[in-house]
Amino acid sequence: MAARMSSDAAKNPRLAIRVGATYRNGAGPQPQHFRVRDVTYDVAEIVDRWYEGPRRAGGTVLHYYKVRSRGDSVFRIAYDQRQDGWFLVQSFGPEAAA
């Protein structure tokens, strides 16, 4: 099956999502599952993560994550530290958030 990209994520790169995350030893949030509209996705693996923004106090830091769901789709999600909110950046695969 060909990978499918969510059209909503492409049109609205700041689609707010709800995320359940753990926090360990100052490493930043570790997403465990997330909800887009009425669908919950379990995170099977954090494939990659990176940061944008200054690391100094008061700076806007965005934590980006490329995660693979248990359904084998890949999602790029982000946490805006300053606004304390999560959003969906992109999704690919059979479970792509439509």
With respect to residue 70, please indicate whether it lies within any of the assigned structural domains.
yes
In a domain, 25, yes or no: no
How is residue 53 written in tokens? 């923004």
| pLDDT value for 47 | 96
Buried-state track 23-46, b at ≥16 Cβ within 10 A, e below 16:
eeeeeebebeebebeeeebebeee
Quick check: is 83 in a domain? yes
Quick one: average pLDDT of 4-18?
60
Q: Would 3 be classed as within a structural domain?
A: no
Classify residue 75: in a domain, yes or no. yes
Using pLDDT thresholds of 50, 70 and 90, give the confidence band for residue 24: confident
Range of the domain at 79: 46-87
How confident is the model over 27-82, as pLDDT tens digits?
A: 678 999 999 888 999 999 999 999 888 767 666 689 999 999 999 999 999 999 88
Number of helices followed by number of strands (H, E) in the chain: 1, 6
Dist CA 4 CA 90 (whole Å): 10
Is the pLDDT assigned to residue 2 strictly greater than 90? Answer: no
Is 58 a member of any domain?
A: yes
Mean pLDDT of 16-28: 84
pLDDT higher than 60, residue 89: yes
Number of structural domains (the chain) is 1
